[in-house]
Structure 1
């Protein structure tokens, strides 16, 4: 016995996508399970899959920027080091590590955006600390491997 499609018979896939995204997802999943591939709203399905990939990249980059910013603050502002900073370093490092573990194909992207993310982290650190950008090294003093190393904390 096949499961009933959640979609009404009168609504096309693309109309449903515009009207009720969650119902469109349920319907698409059920069509896939039933092997009814010719009934799929392929245009929107492809778009959603591509969007998922971009979202994974953006999340990785965002977490990397926060991680690098806190590593910078930890390195430069030794007198202001706190458990909160260590927590943020641990949390965002964990998020980056988890993303790379779940999607190893993101590692080349991580390597590609590390230097750019470091520059963003410098600018974020300036905003957070009120210090001059010249105080933060133009080139990262820690490597991508150190950024991901659970035991690494930079020294002044």
Structure 2
């Protein structure tokens, strides 16, 4: 019979199998056999991933709302669809992890600054065409159907 690699080696050799083995060890209560170092790393990574996704979704919503407001002649269904989709994703993340709201509030200004810069790049408008501070409240960004005039 072939010997199986230790869990820490397995992490580097076959991540999917490492996950399966880790779940099985947890279910069986074999905590002393767990690859704790990599397990901690993966759990921390999950939290960072949700935060990055939340910021990314917010940036895209703001970006398209800015384009919607400052280039009304170029409004498209794809902009509206993107707003709807990324708003839905953000709301889903908040539903699954309500504590992300405080993270979102703390990152709001940075998300707006990134969206503003990207809007200037995508529209060809001078960055000064867009307000320095976000013209929308965080709550407005999450309201289905909200579009600036």
Structure 2-normalised TM-score? 0.96
2:6 paired residue number: 12
Aligned match for 2:106, one of 112, 118, 126:
112
Q: Give yes or no for the alignment of 1:92 onto 2:86.
A: yes
SS at match of 1:140: coil
Q: Give yes or no for the alignment of 1:78 onto 2:72.
A: yes
SS at match of 1:89: helix
Aligned match for 2:17, one of 23, 26, 41:
23
Structure 1-normalised TM-score? 0.92
Q: Give yes or no for the alignment of 1:125 onto 2:107.
A: no
Runs of at least 4 residues off by over 3 Å: none
For residues 86 and 19 of structure 1, what CA distance do their matches in structure 2 show? 43
For residues 145 and 10 of structure 2, what CA distance do their matches in structure 1 show? 49
Residues matched between the structures, number? 148
For residues 10 and 22 of structure 1, what CA distance do their matches in structure 2 show? 14
Q: Give yes or no for the alignment of 1:136 onto 2:136.
A: no
Q: Which runs of no fewer than 5 residues in structure 2 stay unpaired?
A: none
SS at match of 2:99: helix
